[in-house]
A and B are shown apart, each in its own frame.
Chain A
Amino acid sequence: MGKEKSKSGPLARRPDNSAFKQQRLPAWTPMLTASTVLPSFYLLALICMLLGVWLLLTVQNTQEMKVDYTEAGSCNLCFEMRKNVSNAGQKCTCMIMFSIEKAFKGDVFIYYGLRNFHQNLRRYMDSRDDGQMLGRKSNLKSPSSYCKPFDVDEKGVPIAPCGAVANSMFNDSFILTYYTINGPTVVPLLRKGLTWYTDKNVKYRNPKMDNLTLPEVFEGTTRPPYWQKPVYQLDPFDPNNNGFINDDLLVWMREAAFPNFKKLYGFLYRANKPFTKGLPAGNYSVAISYNFPVQYFKGRKEVVLTTVSWFGGQNHFLPIAYLVTSGLILLTAVVLTVVWWKFGKDGKNMAD
C-alpha cells in the first residue's frame, strides 16, 4: 500500500528515495547455518591441531635449565648475610654447580630469574621519571614527584636515576664456568644488546654531554640509595655502556608484568670453541656475586639458561593449549553435528 507516490503533487517534503534513508542499503546477511558453522568448526579444529603439533615439535627442540641459587650451595651464607641490612656494603660471592645432560645447541641465553618480586605494583611502576632517563637536564636535577621517596637523598641532592624501580635494580653478577677435561673454562658471555632497540636508542638517553665526561654530567646528583656505584660507573669495561643507557639498567627498567619473571643477563659468545655450537653437555659452575637481597620479600633467585626457536624460548603452554583447544573444538563440532542431524529444525518449522 501507499505505493502510488509517483503521482504528481507537492512532494516537496517527501524524503529522498535513497537506499540509505530508506534503510535499503545493500547488505550481506550472514546466518549461522549448519552448512557454514559445522565445516568451519572442523576446519578450525584442524588448524589448531596442526599448529599445536608444529609448535610442540618446535618446542621439543629447545632446551631450558633453571638453577635456583637463593640459598643453594654456598649461597646460603650470602643469603644469611643479606638478611641483615647493615651488611649491605659487604661483598659476598658464592658458587653453584650444575650439569647439562644434553648440549644446548645454537644461541644460548642466560637469564636471572626472580620470584615473588612485584615489579608490577602500581606505585612501583609509577616510581620513575622517564623524562630524566631521556636525559632531560631539568628532570635530572629535579626528578618527578612520582619518584618519591627516591627522588632526593636526605641532603636534598637529586637521585639519578630516581624512583623505586631504578633503586631496586638487580645487582648480582654471574661468572659461568665450564669444566672440561682440560680444566675449567670461563664461558664467554656477551652483556650487550640485551634490550629492545627502542629502549637503547630512543627511550633512554644520557644527558647531553657537551664535551663533558659522563661523571661531570651527572654532577650534582647522587646514586640511588641501594646502589653501590653511581650510574655512570655501572659498566667498568665499556664507557659507552654507562649512564642511563646501561643495558642492565635498561633490562631492569622494563618492568615485568608478573611477580615471577626472568630477565636477560647475557648470551653465549660463540666465536670460540667449545662454544661455537652452543653449550656442550657437561659440568658447569656459576660464581655469583651475591648482592641482591630477596629474603625480605620471601623471594627466590635463579639462573636460567635456554636456547630459542623461531618463536622464542621453551614454552610448553602454547602447543598444549592449541592441542587441547583443537580437541575441544572437534568435540563441539561432533556434538553439534549430531544435534543438528538428530534434532535440528533448521528453519523447517514455518508452521510455528
Chain B
Amino acid sequence: MFRKRLPPEEERKVKANDREYNEKFQYASNCIVTSKYNIITFLPVNLFEQFQEVANTYFLFLLILQLIPQISSLSWFTTIVPLALVLSITAVKDATDDYFRHKSDNQVNNRESQVLIRGSLQNEKWMNVRVGDIIKLENNQFVAADVLLLSTSEPHGLCYIETAELDGETNMKVRQSISVTAELCDPNHLASFDGEVMCEPPNNKLDRFCGTLYWREKKYPLTNQNMLLRGCVLRNTEACYGLVIFAGPDTKLMQNSGRTKFKRTSIDRLMNTLVLWIFGFLVCMGGILAVGNAIWEKEVGFLFQSFLPWDPPVDNFLFSAFLSFWSYVIILNTVVPISLYVSVEVIRLGHSYFINWDQQMFCSQCNTAAEARTTTLNEELGQVEYIFSDKTGTLTQNIMTFNKCSINGQSYGELTGPLGIKPTRLNFTPLNPLADPNFCFYDEKLLESVKVGDPHTHEFFRLLSLCHTVMSEEKSEGELVYKAQSPDEGALVTAARNFGFVFRSRTPGTITTTEMGQTVTYSLLAILDFNNIRKRMSVIVRNPEGRIRLYCKGADTVLVERLQPCNQELISITSDHLNEYAADGLRTLALAYRDLSEEEWEAWSESHRFADKATDCREDRLAATYDKIEQEMLLLGATAIEDKLQEGVPETIALLSLANIKIWVLTGDKQETAVNIGYSCKMLTDDMTEVFIISGHTVQSVRHELRRARERMIALSRAREEGKGIEGWAEAGFVRNGCKEGQAGDGTADGGGEGARKPSQCPPIPSNLMDSISGEFALVISGHSLAHALEPDMEEEFLSTACACKAVICCRVTPLQKAQVVELIKKHKKAVTLAVGDGANDVSMIKSAHIGVGISGQEGIQAVLASDYSFAQFRFLQRLLLVHGRWSYLRMCRFLCYFFYKNFAFTMVHFWFGFFCGFSAQTVYDQFFITLYNIVYTSLPVLAMGMFDQDVPDQRSLEYPKLYEPGQLNLLFNKREFFICITQGIYTSVVLFFVPYAVLSDATQSNGVPLADYQSFAVTTATALVIVVSVQIALDTGFWTVFNHVFVWGSLGSFFTIMFALHSQTLFRNLPNQFHFVGSAQNTLLQPVVWLTIALATAICIVPVLAFRFLKLDLKPQLSDTVRYTQLVRQKRRKPAGRSMGGVWRGTGSVSEGRLGARGGSRRSGYAFAHQEGFGELITSGKNMRLSSLGLASFASRHSTGWIDTLRRKKNNPTPPGTSGENSPALSIVSGSVPPLSNSSSVLGGSQETPIEEEAVTAPAQNTDSDLAVCKQTSTSAVSEAATPQGSAQPNAAGVSTSIRGRPHVKDSSGGWAHSLGTVQESLFGWKGITTRARASNRAGSPSVAGETSHVV
C-alpha cells in the first residue's frame, strides 16, 4: 500500500504512549487491506489486469486491425461485441469479489478495541490503533495487533491465549509479562508508562521475538513469551494490557499469510501456450496467403486492374500483399474465438455449482454443503497428484475415546468390527450415579469385573483416577466437568469415572476420589511429570491407610524395562495386546504401580529435593531421580485410546492412493501422534517395507539420514528383486530402531508379503494393486529436520527421498514450512498439488498449493476463507477429486478438443478459398454467420457436453480409482491431442471446401440457374459445416441428457431459423447493404444437389473419425471405455469389477489387520501421550489452582518448541538431542525479569534463575486469584509478604502447606470462573455441528474444547 519507506526497517523503536515519537518512523498502521481495488483504481487496474491475459490483448489487437478500412475483412462488431462482453463480465466478477474483500476488511478494521489515550481508555477501531499505543484486551477478544504484554489481571502477569488462528493449535498457551510492567495494572499507571522497545523488524517467525525494553534507565530483555500476536484469542484472562509493537501488515499473522496468488490451472496455462502457438500458426497462414496474394496481384491482379483498380494507397503488389496479410489475420482469428474463454468460464461455473449442489458432499451434522469458492480450478481437481493434508480436524475429529484396555492379561473392549454390528452401549448409571452419560463402552465383561471387585481391575481404574494432571470442576453435586490438558488424558479419567473410580477434586497436596461410591482422599506426595524423553508420568500418593504407592503410566517401551521381571507371562500377554491395539491405530499406554515403603519414600524424597534445588542440570538430575524410583514396578495393564478419525478417512486415503495420489501429512503435531494417525488412517501400514524417521538437528545429520534412507531403499528394493520373495528381505526389513533420534525407524516387514514383494508393475493380478500401496516406504520427518531439508542445497536430496516414499509425514512443522513443502513439490515435480486443512495454520499451505481445500467447521474459518473449495469432512475429498474433479477434467478436455476442432474446421475454409479468390481475404461465409457461429450455432451443444458429460457414472469412478489416472498423466488434453484436434479440423475444412467446390462450380439448379454463385456456395458450406460439427458433437457426447438433445437439435434448428431470418426480405429492405444475402437460403436449400453435397461432405468428414474411434476403442480401450462397456453390457456387470478393484480398498483394512493378528510382530509403540510437561509441577505448587476451574491450558509453552528454539536451546544447553523439543530454552536472563514460562521447572523453581525479589510477585498464585478484582496493587503487595516462603520450596511440601489455605479460594473462584468458561464453551460449541456437540459433551467431565485439541494440530 503506502509502503514508501525507503530503506527496509532494520530495527524497530517503539515508545509507549508517545504517538509523535513513533510517527516519525512511519510504521504501518493497523489497517489491513486485502482488497485490490478502490472505486477510482478499479477500472484502470482491472483492465490492466485483464489485458495481461494473452487472449484479451490479442482480441484488442484484432479489434484495432479491424478498424483500418483497407484491412478490415470483417465488420468491427464481430470482435468488439464479444470482447466487450467478456471484459465486462470479468470486471463485474472481480468487482464483486473485491467488494466482499472490502467488506471483510472493513469488518476487521472496524472492530472495537480499547486504547489508552491520555490516561483514559477509549474505544477505537482496530484500524486506528497505532504502534506504541497501549491497548486493553478482554477475555475472548481477538488481539488487535502484535502487542507486548505489559500486565494482566492474572497473577504473575500471566495470561492465556489460544493461537488457533496462527498455528492451528487449539490448546492454550501462556504468556507472561515481564515483571516490572506486570505491576502496572491500572490505566493511570499505564498511561505514564514511557518505556521504549527496541526490537527486530517485522518478520514472519511466529515463535521468535527478540527485543529490549528500556525503562527507567534499565534494560529488560523481551522474548516471544512476552508477546501477544495478532490473531490470538485471549482466554481465561479477564483483561490484559499490551503495547502495540507491530501493527497491520507488519504483524506476524499478516507476514505469515502468503500472498494471495491468482491460481490458474494447468489447462489454462496450456491454453495460453496454445493460443500463442495458434497465433504463430495464424501468422504462418497469413504469411502464406500474403505471398500468394503478392504473386496473384503480380500475375493476375495487375492485369485485372481495368475491372478493379487497386485501392489508392496500394500501388504495387507487395503493399497489397502486406495488407492482405493483416486481412487474413483478422479472418483467421476465429481459430481462437473469444467465446472459448467465455465458454470455459461458463463450464467451470457450472461445475462449481454441481459441487455446491452435491448432496453426497453435504455434511448433515454440520449442515454444511460443499462449496466451490473459486470457479476457475475445477478441472485441475482431476489432475491432482499430491495431497498435503493437515491432521487435526482434517483427518481426525480431535476427539479421544477410551476404546480398549488390557487388565491383568485380559483384554476388554469391542473389536473394531464392521460398522454394521452395533453392540449395545453399556449403561453405567445403576452402578455409578456420577458416570458420564456420554461415555461409550461396549464390553460388558469389564463392567462385570469391576462389579465383582476384581482387585486388578480396581487398581487399574484407581490408577487412572489418580495418575493424571486433570482438573475437575463440580458445578453442582455429581455434575463433574474435567478439564484435561490433553483430550486423551481426559478420556482415561472419564473412563475411570464411569467404571466407578471418580476423580472428584484435587488440591496441590490431595486428590479426592469416589471409589465405588466411597469418598477417598489421597494425599499427593509427588507428581513425576511427563516429558518427551521420559514418555511416562507417575504420581506418588499416600492412601488413607497410609500406604504409599507409585502409579505410573507411560509408553510400553519405556515401562516394560522398568517392570519387575517376575511376571513375564503377564508382560508378554499385555505386550501382545498392546501390539494389537497399536496395529489398530490406537494410542496405547501401559500402566504400572509400585508400593513404596516409608523409608524408600523418605530417601527418595530427600534426593528429589536435592535434585530440585540443584542449580545446574536440574532437569537431568530430576529425570535421574525420577528414573530411580520408577523401577521394579508391577504391570497393571494397558489402555488404548482412539484418536477418532473423521468418518471414512482410511477408506478415503486408501482410495486416493489407489488413484495414484500421494498423500503427505503435514502437521504441527508431535511425531508419535502423527505416526499413530498415519497408522490408523492406513497411510502407514505394517506392510510397509520400512518407515524412515528423519529427525536430525543439523544439516549434516539430516543429509546423512536422508542418504541412508535412500540407500536402504535401493538396497531393499534390489533385495526384493533378487530375492523374489525369498526370506532374505525379512532380515533386511527388520531393522529396528527403538531410539528416538534414530533414523531407520520401526522398520517392519510384512509376514505374508512374499507375494507382495514383486515389483508393483507385474502382471495384473488383482492383488497387485494392493502391493503397489503396501510393501513400500514411508518417511517421517520432523520440523527441525525439515528446516534443513528445505534449504536450497538439500532440496533435491529431500525430494528424491520423499518422493520415493509412498507416504510422507512431516510433523512439528510451522505454517510457513507447510507452504514451503508445497512449493517444493510444485517447483520440482510439475505436479498438481492439493492442500487440505482446517486451521489458520494451514492457510499458507492452502494458498500456495494449486488447489486449496478448507475443512469447514472445526477450527475456524480462516482456512475456508483462503481455500478454493471447502467442505465439512475429509472423506468428501474422494468425491471432489474422483468424481467432480475427474468429470470436470474430462469435460473440459473434451470441450477444448471439440472447440479447437470446430473452429479450425470453420476457419480454415477461408484459407482454401484464398487460393480461388486471388488471396483477397474474401470470406467464405456471410459475416453474420461468422459472428454467430461461435456464439449461437455451435456454442450450446458443446457447452452442454462440457457441463453434463459423463463417461462413467459417479459410483464407478469411486469403484475404479484408476480411472483418475488419465488426468494425472494429462492424457486427455495435451499438445498431442491438440494437434490431433486441429488436424481433424483442418481435414474437415478441406472436405467442407473442396466437396462443395467440386460439386457447385459446375452445377445448376433444375431451372438452369447456375449454383456456382458466391452466396449459394456460402450457404452450402455453412450448412454443411454446421451439420458436420453437430454430428461430431453428437459423436463426442457420451451422455445424452435432455439438455444435450435440446441444445444439439436446437442449435441446428436455430441455425436454419436464423439463416432464413437473416436472408429474409424484411431485414434486407431496412439494411440492404448488410443483408444482401436476401433469398439465398431458400434458393439454395431447395436444391437437392445442395443436400446431396452436404450429405457427401458429412459422410467424408465423419466416417474416418468414426472408424478411428472404433478402432481405438476396439484395440486399445481405456479403462473408462471398458467400464462403460460393462455398464452397457448388463450381463456379468458387477461381479468381475467389484472383485478386482472395487474390493481392493474395502478389503485393505481387514487384510492388514488379519495379517497383524497372525504375525503379532508389530513392535510399533502406539504410545502418544499428548501432554506437555510441567503441568504436574504447577499442580503441586498450587500455582494454577485458581485455574482449577479452567485448568486446561498447557502451561509449558509450545511456542518455544519450534525448531528455531530447539536449535537455539541446543547451543545453550547440551541436553541429549533428538527429543523433539519439548524442552525449555534455558535462556540466560538479565536480572530483573521473570523467568520465561517456557518450562515448568522454571516456573515453579524460580530458585534457579529468578532473583529473590521476584518471588513476591510470582508465588502467591492462589491468594490473588480468589479476588476476581483485577490485579489490585494493594492485594498483590499484601499477599506477597505472606507468600514468600513457598517460592522455592520443594513441591510436595509447598503443595501441602498451601493446600489448606488455598482450598476455600479454589471453591470460590471455581464458581466465578465456571460462568465464563461456560460461555467460552458455549461459544466454541456453538458453531460445531449437533453431533460434534453431542460428542464433545460426551466427555462432559473432561476437556473443554480447547483442551481437547491441545496436542494435535
Q: Do A and B bind each other?
A: yes
Residue positions of A touching B, CB distance < 8 A: 1-2, 4-5, 7, 9-17, 21-23, 25-34, 37, 41, 44, 48, 51, 55, 85, 107, 109, 111, 116, 118-125, 127, 129-131, 133-134, 136, 144, 146, 149, 164, 167-168, 194-199, 202-203, 254-264, 267, 293, 296-298, 306, 308-315, 317-318, 321-322, 325, 328-329, 332, 336, 339-340, 343-347, 349-352
Determine which of B327, B1004, B1039 lies in contact with A308 in the assembled complex, contact meaning CB atoms within 8 Å. B1004
Contact with A along B401-442 (1 / 0, CB 8 A): 000000000000000000000000000000000000000000
* Structural contact, B309 and A344, CB atoms closer than 8 A: no
Instruction: Note all chain B residues with C-beta closer than 8 A to A149.
Output: 309
Given contacts A9-B364, A121-B917, A317-B999, contact A32 B1103 (CB under 8 A): no
Most buried by B among A9, A168, A196: A196
* Structural contact, A122 and B922, CB atoms closer than 8 A: yes
* Structural contact, B1121 and A44, CB atoms closer than 8 A: no
Instruction: Note all chain B residues with C-beta closer than 8 A to A310.
Output: 1006, 1088
B1349 on interface, CB distance cutoff 8 Å: no
Instruction: Name the distance in Å between A226's Cβ and chain B's nearest Cβ.
Output: 8
Determine which of B954, B1000, B1115 lies in contact with A23 in the assembled complex, contact meaning CB atoms within 8 Å. B954
Q: Give Cα A16–Cα B369 distance, bound, in whole angstroms.
A: 11
* Structural contact, A312 and B1003, CB atoms closer than 8 A: yes
Instruction: Name the distance in Å between B451's Cβ and chain A's nearest Cβ.
Output: 35
Most buried by B among A118, A255, A257: A257
Determine which of A11, A16, A55, A257 lies in contact with B1013 in the assembled complex, contact meaning CB atoms within 8 Å. A257
Q: Give Cα A85–Cα B1013 distance, bound, in whole angstroms.
A: 29
Instruction: Note all chain A residues with C-beta closer than 8 A to B1096.
Output: 318, 321-322, 325
B995 on interface, CB distance cutoff 8 Å: yes
* Structural contact, A121 and B308, CB atoms closer than 8 A: yes
* Structural contact, A264 and B1010, CB atoms closer than 8 A: yes
Instruction: Note all chain B residues with C-beta closer than 8 A to A256.
Output: 1010, 1012-1014
* Structural contact, B1088 and A13, CB atoms closer than 8 A: no
B34 on interface, CB distance cutoff 8 Å: no
Instruction: Name the distance in Å between A290's Cβ and chain B's nearest Cβ.
Output: 17
Q: Give Cα A340–Cα B1112 distance, bound, in whole angstroms.
A: 11
* Structural contact, B308 and A127, CB atoms closer than 8 A: yes
Instruction: Note all chain B residues with C-beta closer than 8 A to A203.
Output: 1068, 1072, 1076, 1078-1079
Interface of chain B residues 295 through 313 with chain A (CB within 8 A): 300-301, 303-304, 306-309, 311
What residue in chain B is nearest A3 (Cβ atoms)?
B360
B561 on interface, CB distance cutoff 8 Å: no
B1316 on interface, CB distance cutoff 8 Å: no
Q: Give Cα A194–Cα B1009 distance, bound, in whole angstroms.
A: 7
Interface of chain B residues 993 through 1024 with chain A (CB within 8 A): 995, 997-1018
Determine which of A37, A123, A344 lies in contact with B308 in the assembled complex, contact meaning CB atoms within 8 Å. A123
Q: Could you give 28 example pairs across A and B, Cβ below 8 Å?
A: A9-B367, A10-B1330, A13-B367, A23-B950, A27-B1039, A29-B1038, A29-B1040, A33-B1125, A51-B1092, A122-B73, A124-B308, A131-B1073, A144-B1073, A149-B309, A168-B307, A202-B1079, A203-B1079, A255-B1013, A261-B1012, A297-B300, A298-B303, A311-B1089, A311-B1092, A315-B1003, A317-B998, A322-B1092, A329-B1103, A349-B1122
Instruction: Note all chain A residues with C-beta closer than 8 A to B1008.
Output: 107, 109, 194, 264, 267, 306, 308, 313
* Structural contact, B1041 and A27, CB atoms closer than 8 A: yes
* Structural contact, B1114 and A13, CB atoms closer than 8 A: no
Q: Give Cα A130–Cα B360 distance, bound, in whole angstroms.
A: 62
* Structural contact, B308 and A164, CB atoms closer than 8 A: yes
Instruction: Note all chain B residues with C-beta closer than 8 A to A339.
Output: 1111, 1114-1115
Q: Give Cα A186–Cα B726 distance, bound, in whole angstroms.
A: 107
Instruction: Name the distance in Å between B1144's Cβ and chain A's nearest Cβ.
Output: 13
Given contacts A14-B369, A297-B303, A347-B1129, contact A32 B1113 (CB under 8 A): yes
Instruction: Name the distance in Å between A336's Cβ and chain B's nearest Cβ.
Output: 6
Instruction: Note all chain B residues with C-beta closer than 8 A to A317.
Output: 998-999, 1002
Instruction: Name the distance in Å between A29's Cβ and chain B's nearest Cβ.
Output: 6
Instruction: Note all chain B residues with C-beta closer than 8 A to A306.
Output: 1004, 1008
* Structural contact, B1000 and A257, CB atoms closer than 8 A: yes
Instruction: Name the distance in Å between A42's Cβ and chain B's nearest Cβ.
Output: 12
Most buried by A among B995, B997, B1004: B1004
* Structural contact, B307 and A124, CB atoms closer than 8 A: yes
What residue in chain B is nearest A346 (Cβ atoms)?
B1114
Q: Give Cα A256–Cα B1025 distance, bound, in whole angstroms.
A: 20
B1100 on interface, CB distance cutoff 8 Å: yes
* Structural contact, B1078 and A311, CB atoms closer than 8 A: no
Q: Give Cα A336–Cα B1105 distance, bound, in whole angstroms.
A: 13
* Structural contact, A257 and B1017, CB atoms closer than 8 A: yes
Q: Give Cα A34–Cα B1092 distance, bound, in whole angstroms.
A: 28
* Structural contact, A118 and B917, CB atoms closer than 8 A: yes
Determine which of B764, B1044, B1100 lies in contact with A351 in the assembled complex, contact meaning CB atoms within 8 Å. B764
Most buried by B among A12, A134, A315: A315
Q: Give Cα A42–Cα B1111 distance, bound, in whole angstroms.
A: 16
Q: Give Cα A33–Cα B1129 distance, bound, in whole angstroms.
A: 10
B1109 on interface, CB distance cutoff 8 Å: yes
Knowing that A41-B1106, A332-B1107 touch, tell me 7 more A-B residue pairs with CB under 8 angstroms. A23-B948, A197-B1079, A202-B1079, A317-B1002, A321-B999, A336-B1114, A343-B1115
* Structural contact, A13 and B368, CB atoms closer than 8 A: yes
Among all A-B residue pairs, the 10 with the closest Cβ atoms: A198-B1079, A347-B1125, A21-B357, A257-B1017, A109-B1008, A313-B1004, A28-B1040, A122-B922, A130-B1072, A25-B1041
Instruction: Name the distance in Å between A201's Cβ and chain B's nearest Cβ.
Output: 9
Q: Give Cα A26–Cα B1043 distance, bound, in whole angstroms.
A: 10
Instruction: Name the distance in Å between B1036's Cβ and chain A's nearest Cβ.
Output: 11
Given contacts A315-B999, A318-B1096, contact A17 B300 (CB under 8 A): no
What residue in chain B is nearest A328 (Cβ atoms)?
B1103
Instruction: Note all chain B residues with C-beta closer than 8 A to A293.
Output: 306
B1110 on interface, CB distance cutoff 8 Å: yes
* Structural contact, B303 and A2, CB atoms closer than 8 A: no
B1140 on interface, CB distance cutoff 8 Å: yes
What residue in chain A is nearest B1034 (Cβ atoms)?
A30
Determine which of A9, A121, A321 lies in contact with B998 in the assembled complex, contact meaning CB atoms within 8 Å. A321
Q: Give Cα A29–Cα B368 distance, bound, in whole angstroms.
A: 33
What residue in chain B is nearest A306 (Cβ atoms)?
B1004
B1126 on interface, CB distance cutoff 8 Å: yes
* Structural contact, A257 and B1014, CB atoms closer than 8 A: yes
B603 on interface, CB distance cutoff 8 Å: no
Determine which of B920, B997, B1126 lies in contact with A122 in the assembled complex, contact meaning CB atoms within 8 Å. B920
* Structural contact, A297 and B1114, CB atoms closer than 8 A: no
Q: Give Cα A5–Cα B1017 distance, bound, in whole angstroms.
A: 60
Contact with A along B868-898 (1 / 0, CB 8 A): 0000000100000000000100000000000
* Structural contact, B367 and A31, CB atoms closer than 8 A: no
* Structural contact, A22 and B1100, CB atoms closer than 8 A: no
Instruction: Note all chain A residues with C-beta closer than 8 A to B1012.
Output: 256-258, 261-262
What residue in chain B is nearest A307 (Cβ atoms)?
B1008
* Structural contact, B1004 and A109, CB atoms closer than 8 A: yes
Instruction: Note all chain B residues with C-beta closer than 8 A to A123.
Output: 308, 311, 920
Instruction: Name the distance in Å between B391's Cβ and chain A's nearest Cβ.
Output: 21
Interface of chain B residues 1052 through 1084 with chain A (CB within 8 A): 1065, 1068-1069, 1072-1073, 1076, 1078-1079, 1082-1083
* Structural contact, B1092 and A55, CB atoms closer than 8 A: yes
Instruction: Name the distance in Å between A182's Cβ and chain B's nearest Cβ.
Output: 29
* Structural contact, B1078 and A198, CB atoms closer than 8 A: yes
* Structural contact, B1093 and A312, CB atoms closer than 8 A: no
* Structural contact, A350 and B1122, CB atoms closer than 8 A: yes
Instruction: Note all chain A residues with C-beta closer than 8 A to B922.
Output: 120-122, 125
Instruction: Note all chain B residues with C-beta closer than 8 A to A308.
Output: 1004, 1006-1008
* Structural contact, B1072 and A44, CB atoms closer than 8 A: no
Determine which of B367, B1009, B1038 lies in contact with A12 in the assembled complex, contact meaning CB atoms within 8 Å. B367
Given contacts A29-B1039, A297-B303, A343-B1114, contact A44 B1103 (CB under 8 A): yes
B1157 on interface, CB distance cutoff 8 Å: no
Contact with A along B343-356 (1 / 0, CB 8 A): 00000000001101
Instruction: Note all chain B residues with C-beta closer than 8 A to A257.
Output: 916, 997, 1000-1001, 1012-1014, 1016-1018
